[in-house]
Amino acid sequence: MRDDNAHQEMLAAAQQLIVELEAGNDDQVTSLIDQLAKIRETELFQEIGKLTRELHNAITDFQVDSDLSDIAKSEIPDAKERLNYVITMTNQSANRTLAAVEGAIPLCEALNCKSIELRAEWNRFVNREMNANEFRQVSKTLQNHLDESEGQLASVKEALTEILMAQEFQDLTGQIINRVIKMVDDVESHLVTLIKVSGSPTSPDKQESKEGKLEGPQVPNLSTSETVNGQDEVDDLLSSLGF
Amino acid sequence: MPADPNMKILIVDDFSTMRRIIKNLLRDLGYNNTAEADDGQTGLPMLQNGNFDFLVTDWNMPGMTGIDLLRAVRADANLATLPVLMVTAEAKREQIFEAAECGVNGYIIKPFTAATLKEKIDKIFERIDG
């Protein structure tokens, strides 16, 4: 990280500092310590500058592939908006799927009802409990049912295809999220460098109290002992409380 | 005895898709009389004015959270005995304890299945009828 000039400058100042300290020249000592601090500050500012530039570049470079942007239609310049877009896409997909399901269920129910009705009539016919007039009526109902069911089944098939297509969000959102992860990784590695350079004492064991903080959905491999694994554990916990 | 299929149910969740999923699952279970609210703040007045028989609520919502809604329900003399089912992604033990202390009747963590929803509703109303 440190360039050679800065290194040489620091070494020279440090060597001079020892000389001045041994000679008891207090003014020179103070001046040299200030000089060393200045070299260090310069390095810190350079690192902040670099980080800012990298962050800016990362955000600017954060463009989707041309085919993805064709689908997205709008160019959203930063990761925050990209993630909002993920929410929008998943929301649209869920609504698209639900609308298809809500459309298809009544069709299936209607087909089922009609089949049950016709089966009863057919049984009467087989058992010779039906006169000619009734049979003519049943034939007409059967014909109508066959005509209608053709269209209804085509609509059900259409709904299933719609559900299939609505799953496309997974690929697209996955790509966007991967890009955000990459950007966060880059920023993180520069922040780590910054912390090293600034030399602030870190205390990795220090943890803020998380009491009352909501954790949100459980992510595989990130669960802690504080959380339950699945509905069975919730049930065990609640039954231990008398539920 | 299963719950009354005509009972009036309020579904509270900030995500409209989740409300829609729960509404459809309830309809499949034979419960057609449902209403929706997007957080506790809009849900509470509906409960106070609407003669609801059952509340299904999320926990983490902007405005008024599900746990605060549960507290408000238990503190309201007219709603104190309303059965409440929490359906939430919050899976920390201390949160489940907290919900139990506040008087929740059932607790389901997301993602969940239709079978779990049915089982919990049946259990809640069996216990109440018993």
**What is the pLDDT at residue A146?**
93
Share of chain B above pLDDT 90, in %: 72
Per-residue pLDDT of B77-116, as tens digits, reads 999 999 999 999 888 999 999 999 999 999 999 878 778 9
What's B107's DSSP letter?
A: E
Angle at B84 between CA B82 and CA B85, to 5 degrees: 160
DSSP reduced 3-state for B51: coil
Kindly determine whether residue A102 and residue B112, on different chains, have CB atoms separated by under 8 Å: no
> ipTM for the complex?
0.77
B85: β partners: B56, B106
**What is the pLDDT at residue A207?**
47
Q: Which long-range contacts (CB under 8 A, 24 or more apart) does A145-151 make?
A: A145/A114, A145/A115, A145/A118, A148/A114, A149/A111, A149/A114
Per-residue pLDDT of B29-81, as tens digits, reads 899 999 999 999 999 999 999 999 999 999 989 899 999 999 999 999 999 99
Spatial CB neighbours of A179, under 8 Å, sequence gap ≥ 6: A62, A64, A79, A82
**What is the pLDDT at residue A201?**
52
Nearest residue in B to A109, CA atom: B28
Nearest to B96 among A94, A211, A237 (CB): A237
**What is the pLDDT at residue A106?**
93
Spatial CB neighbours of B112, under 8 Å, sequence gap ≥ 6: A231, B87
The whole-number mean pLDDT for each consecutive block of 10 residues of chain A, a chain of 243 residues, reads 73 90 89 87 82 71 44 50 86 92 93 93 92 92 93 92 81 80 75 62 49 64 74 89 79
A215 contacts chain B (CB < 8 A): yes
Measure the CA–CA gap between A213 and A203, rounded to whole angstroms. Answer: 22
A98 contacts chain B (CB < 8 A): yes
Measure the CA–CA gap between A148 and B102, rounded to whole angstroms. Answer: 54
Work out the widest C-alpha separation in chain A, in whole angstroms: 129
A85: enclosing H helix or E strand: helix A79-126
Measure the CA–CA gap between A232 and A229, rounded to whole angstroms. Answer: 8
Measure the CA–CA gap between A89 and A83, rounded to whole angstroms. Answer: 10
What's B3's DSSP letter?
A: P
B34: β partners: B9
Measure the CA–CA gap between B122 and B4, rounded to whole angstroms. Answer: 10
Q: Calculate mean pLDDT across residues B119-128.
A: 93
User: Which residues of B are less than 8 Å from A89 in CB distance?
Assistant: none
Domains of chain B: 9-124 (3.40.50.2300)
User: Which residues of B are less than 8 Å from A98 in CB distance?
Assistant: 17, 20-21, 24
User: Which residues of B are less than 8 Å from A95 in CB distance?
Assistant: 16-17, 20
Measure the CA–CA gap between B86 and B95, rounded to whole angstroms. Answer: 11
User: Which residues of A are less than 8 Å from B107 in CB distance?
Assistant: 234, 238
- Of the candidates B96, B112, B116, the residue with the CA atom closest to the CA atom of residue B104: B96
Measure the CA–CA gap between A44 and A29, rounded to whole angstroms. Answer: 23
Residue A71, token pair as written in the block: 């689908």
Spatial CB neighbours of A238, under 8 Å, sequence gap ≥ 6: B96, B100, B107
Nearest chain A Cα distance for residue B69, angstroms: 16
User: Residues of B at the A interface (Cβ-Cβ below 8 Å)?
Assistant: 15-17, 20-21, 24, 59-60, 89-97, 100, 106-110, 112, 116
**What is the pLDDT at residue A221?**
58
Predicted confidence band at B17 (pLDDT cuts at 50, 70, 90)? Answer: confident
**What is the pLDDT at residue A74?**
40
Kindly determine whether residue A218 and residue B109, on different chains, have CB atoms separated by under 8 Å: yes
- How many of the other CB atoms lie within 10 Å of CB of A92? 13
First-last CA distance in chain A: 60
Measure the CA–CA gap between B24 and B21, rounded to whole angstroms. Answer: 5
Helices A132-166, A79-126: crossing angle, 10 deg rounding: 160
Specify the amino acid at residue B83: P
**What is the pLDDT at residue A103?**
94
**What is the pLDDT at residue A66?**
43
Measure the CA–CA gap between B5 and B12, rounded to whole angstroms. Answer: 19
CA B50, B55, B57, B59: dihedral to nearest 10 degrees? 100
Kindly determine whether residue A102 and residue B24, on different chains, have CB atoms separated by under 8 Å: yes
A237 contacts chain B (CB < 8 A): yes
Query: What sign does the CA torsion over A193, A199, A202, A208 have?
Result: negative
